[in-house]
Amino acid sequence: MMNNRDIYAGLTLRPHARLSISNEFHGLSLANRNDLWYVGGGVFQPWSFGYVGRSTTGARSLANLYDTSVDIKINPAVSLNVYYGHAQGLAAIQTIYPKGRSGNLGYVELMYKF
């Protein structure tokens, strides 16, 4: 959204022609301490346009996101992707979710091209 600030750094390593490792960091914050933190899934509710604004009581720092993905090309038609991300909730998220401010996401994807 437009009221967010994202400080970003990334590193991609290719130690082999079939292997790619990508690491990223995002420092996420609100642009202004008076902004609301907007969350939602998009236009699916006509009365809210799918987004809700939450007050962070003046806190700006949302989260630090650390993630890694590994892509392995097994052969020309098959590839494997493994992803893991950790979001470390900071002051703004902690004001809304004091007991569970951090989150993790991981998945494994096997792709077959035909």
Parent domain of 62:
4-112
Asked if 41 and 21 touch (Cβ cutoff 8 Å), the reply is no
Place of tokens 């998009």: 42
Query: CA 103, CA 28: separation in Å to the nearest integer?
Result: 14
Q: How many domains does the chain have?
A: 1
For residue 9, the model assigns a pLDDT of 98
Q: What is the pLDDT of residue 54?
A: 84
Rounded mean pLDDT, 62-88: 97
pTM for this one? 0.81
Instruction: Tally Cβ neighbours within 10 Å of residue 87.
Output: 19
Q: Which one is predicted more confidently, 81 or 55? A: 81
In terms of Cα–Cα distance, which of 26, 43, 12 is closest to 89? 26
Mean pLDDT of the chain: 90
